[in-house]
């Protein structure tokens, strides 16, 4: 009985040991096999990269096309694909490579994989077609929007944006209601992908936006336009939505206009001023930012009122906007800094300190205008009393004007009153 038990235990131990050895051997064998495969793949890549570069440069690649035909999924197939995908990012080779990918069978190969029931296989094929800039695959990629798999759809939208054609853009825009309403894709993914189409997409986006009456989509399109170069048509589109009932749309319209270069595009900045008193805080914030970026000094007094806004982000943005008005905002800052709200005063000081406005105040210590000198000095004294004295100390160390240094010493040595 004991002997039988002993033999059984020995048998179990030997079986476990053999099992462990098999696992270890399999792991080592798999690693060796992978290393061999990747070294082989690297050799192929180096070989075909040099060969393709030379043939494309010489214009003789068509004459040796058969040298690059290989079985799908073979090491040669993979190496040539990797090489072509590297070359397609170079404008010198882009058009030639797009043609080669079609003629060598890569485009048809991945288009067939779009029909796979495996989400990973399908998503990988979609990504490859996007990287291959396959304009002929646009309709097939748009058709993948019919699936209910969010990841597949996200990859398809990104791939279409890489292709970058008007057809690809329209494919995304025409399916936006379906994609966003059913939460098949995130709004951020859509906006980032549409932005990737670049400035040439602006007319198409606006044309679609004018036909659309969905608030969610309108807000997304305005957000896209705010991340693209400012144009007359985007300006007009944004102005049309400044009085929209939806607060997000008003804010996004202001975000577009905050890019405006008023020296290049003429429009009435007064349209933005009423939005500084909007009931929604983030609309006030974007209005303040836009008017500051435009350096619209006629809005200075209204912006000054926002220095004591109930929302700290609005206060900070208003202060930042006013720092762009040079000496015209000195009176406004001084008035606000005399209020009792210490937190609001510290917010103002912080914005002044981290912008060029602090340099202007320091330079004004030798201003020939007595009022500008006195007011600038008073603001700097208040800032010092609130412990915002770093720029003054820095000037004493590195500044070059002795008269300014003397004025700073007077401020630092003066008895502080908050």
pLDDT computed for residue 415 by the predictor: 47
Ramachandran area for residue 59 (φ above 0: left; ψ -120 to 50: alpha; else beta):
left
Sequence-separated (6 or more) residues with CB below 8 Å from residue 309: 281, 284, 315, 318
How far is Cα 165 from Cα 204, in angstroms, rounded to an integer?
11
Question: String of b and e for 143-177 (b: at least 16 CB within 10 Å)?
Answer: ebbeeeebebbbbbbbbbbbbbeeebbbbbbebbe
User: What is the dotted CATH code of the domain comprising 78-166?
Assistant: 1.25.10.10
- CB of 195 closer than 8 Å to CB of 228: yes
**Which whole-number Å values give the CA distances from 348 to 53, 290, 316, in the listed order?**
59, 18, 7
Q: What is the pLDDT of residue 417?
A: 44
Residue 416 is predicted with a pLDDT of 44
Nearest Cα to 108, choosing from 141, 131, 80, 137?
A: 137
The two structure tokens encoding residue 346: 């510290």
What pLDDT tens digit does each residue of the chain (418 aa) get? 566 776 677 777 777 777 777 777 777 656 655 565 667 667 878 888 888 888 887 877 777 888 888 888 788 888 888 889 998 998 888 999 999 999 999 999 999 999 998 999 999 999 999 999 999 999 999 999 988 888 899 999 999 999 999 999 999 999 988 888 777 678 888 899 999 999 999 999 999 999 988 999 999 999 999 999 988 899 999 999 999 999 999 999 999 999 877 666 777 889 999 999 999 999 999 999 999 999 999 999 999 999 989 999 999 999 999 999 988 999 999 999 988 888 888 989 999 998 889 999 999 999 999 999 999 999 999 999 999 989 999 999 888 889 999 999 988 886 444 4
Q: Which two tokens stand for residue 99?
A: 């043609």
Q: Give yes or no for a contact between 202 and 234, defined as CB atoms under 8 angstroms apart.
A: yes
Amino acid 412: pLDDT: 86
Find, among 343, 348, 337, 346, the residue nearest to 378 by Cα: 337
């Amino acid at each position: 009985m004991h002997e039988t038990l002993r033999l059984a235990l020995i048998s179990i131990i030997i079986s476990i040991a053999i099992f462990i050895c098999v696992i270890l051997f399999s792991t080592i064998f798999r690693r060796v096999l992978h290393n061999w495969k990747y070294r082989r793949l690297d050799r192929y890549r180096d070989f075909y990269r040099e060969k393709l570069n030379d043939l494309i440069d010489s214009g003789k690649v068509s004459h040796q096309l058969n040298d690059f035909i290989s079985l799908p999924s073979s090491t040669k197939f993979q190496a040539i694909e990797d090489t072509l995908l590297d070359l397609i990012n170079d404008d010198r080779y882009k058009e030639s490579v797009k043609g080669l990918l079609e003629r060598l069978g890569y485009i048809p190969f991945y288009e067939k994989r779009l029909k796979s029931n495996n989400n990973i296989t399908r998503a990988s094929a979609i990504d490859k077609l996007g990287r291959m800039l396959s304009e002929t695959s646009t309709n097939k990629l748009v058709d993948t929007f019919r699936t209910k798999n969010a990841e597949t759809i996200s990859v398809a939208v990104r791939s279409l944006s890489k292709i970058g054609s008007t057809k690809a853009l329209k494919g995304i825009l025409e399916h936006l209601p379906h994609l966003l309403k059913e939460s098949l894709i995130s709004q951020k993914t859509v906006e980032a992908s549409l932005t990737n189409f670049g400035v040439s997409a602006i007319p198409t986006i606006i044309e679609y936006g004018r036909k659309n009456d969905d608030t969610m989509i309108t807000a997304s399109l305005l957000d896209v336009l705010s991340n693209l170069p400012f144009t007359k048509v985007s300006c007009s589109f944004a102005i049309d939505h400044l009085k929209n009932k939806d607060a997000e749309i008003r804010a996004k319209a202001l975000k577009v206009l905050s890019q405006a270069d008023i020296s290049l595009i003429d429009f009435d900045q007064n349209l933005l001023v009423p939005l500084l008193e909007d009931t929604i805080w983030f609309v006030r914030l974007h209005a303040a930012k836009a008017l500051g970026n435009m350096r619209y000094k006629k809005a200075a007094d209204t912006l000054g009122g926002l220095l004591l806004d109930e929302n700290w982000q609005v206060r900070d943005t208003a202060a930042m906007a006013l720092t762009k008005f040079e000496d015209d905002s000195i009176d406004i800052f001084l008035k606000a800094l005399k209020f009792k709200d210490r937190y609001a005063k510290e917010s103002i000081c912080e914005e002044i300190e981290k912008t060029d406005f602090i340099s202007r105040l320091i330079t004004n210590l030798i201003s020939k205008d007595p009022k500008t000198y006195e007011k600038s000095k008073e603001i700097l004294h208040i800032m010092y009393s609130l412990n915002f004295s770093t720029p003054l100390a820095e000037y004493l160390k590195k500044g070059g004007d002795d008269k300014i240094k003397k004025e700073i010493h007077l401020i630092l040595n003066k008895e502080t009153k908050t």
